[in-house]
């Protein structure tokens, strides 16, 4: 399942609690190293520094973590600075999405025909509406002006509640 998270959980690899003391970490690490390399029980430390990503280690059972990871886990967790950095990284929810950069969230799409047209010159029957309004559920009004329509604006915000709606309309031709 690796790859879904930015880095492995070193505590889980060593099988220790996140608040484990140094001695516990070393003990857990030694146990895993011995389990993976029963012939090298005298100098497990000599295996430190194995390049990461190596797959040369052959394990007898899949219950023993990759020795490279075990060494890496111990190296990080026994170094206060690296452990603190790892703890901070670990505490951050990796599934958190960055804020959507794609503008306002549109509550709904409304046809311009649903809007109420407002004509500036009421005496002129041929006058084009200079703006259209639609009552928002908050009581305020969405307003879209003729200028905005001609400019192709199709998302407007309510001044009352900050909701956005999309306005559907045909291209306004002169």
Q: Should residue 159 be labelled a site residue for Zn ion when binding is judged by CB under 5 A?
A: no
Closer to Zn ion at the Cβ: 108 or 170?
108
Applying CB under 5 A, which of residues 14, 67, 158, 167 lies at the interface with Zn ion?
Answer: 158
| Residue 89, phi then psi, degrees to nearest 5 | -65, -40
Residues between 111 and 140 with contacts to Zn ion, criterion CB under 5 A: 136, 138, 140
Q: Are 7 and 72 in contact (CB under 8 A)?
A: no
Number of residues interacting with Zn ion: please give it, by CB under 5 A.
6
Please state the closest distance from residue 111 (CB atom) to Zn ion, in A: 18
What are all long-range contacts of 53-62, with beta carbons under 8 Å and residues at least 24 apart?
Answer: none
Tell me whether residue 32 or residue 136 sits nearer to Zn ion (CB atom). Answer: 136
Residue 45: phi and psi, rounded to 5, are -65, -25
Q: With respect to Zn ion, which residue has the nearer C-beta, 8 or 157?
A: 157
Question: Interface with Zn ion includes 160 (CB under 5 A)?
Answer: yes
Give the C-alpha separation, 131 to 143, whole Å: 7
Positions that interact with Zn ion (CB under 5 A): 136, 138, 140, 158, 160-161
């Amino acid at each position: 399942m690796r790859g879904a998270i930015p880095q492995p959980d070193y505590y889980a690899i060593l099988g220790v609690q996140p608040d484990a003391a140094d001695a516990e970490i070393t003990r857990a690490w030694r146990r895993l190293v011995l389990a993976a390399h029963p012939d090298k029980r005298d100098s497990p430390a000599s295996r430190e520094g194995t390049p990461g990503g190596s797959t040369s280690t052959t394990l007898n059972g899949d219950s023993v973590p990759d020795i490279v990871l075990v060494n890496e886990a111990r190296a990080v967790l026994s170094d206060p600075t690296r452990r603190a950095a790892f703890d901070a990284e670990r505490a951050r929810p990796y599934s958190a999405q960055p804020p959507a950069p794609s503008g306002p969230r549109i509550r709904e799409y409304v046809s311009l025909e649903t809007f109420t047209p407002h004509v500036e010159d009421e005496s002129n029957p041929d006058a084009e509406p200079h703006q259209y309004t639609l009552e928002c559920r908050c009581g305020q009004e969405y307003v879209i002006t003729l200028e905005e329509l001609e400019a192709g604006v199709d998302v407007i915000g309510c001044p009352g509640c900050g909701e956005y709606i999309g306005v559907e309309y045909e291209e306004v031709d002169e």
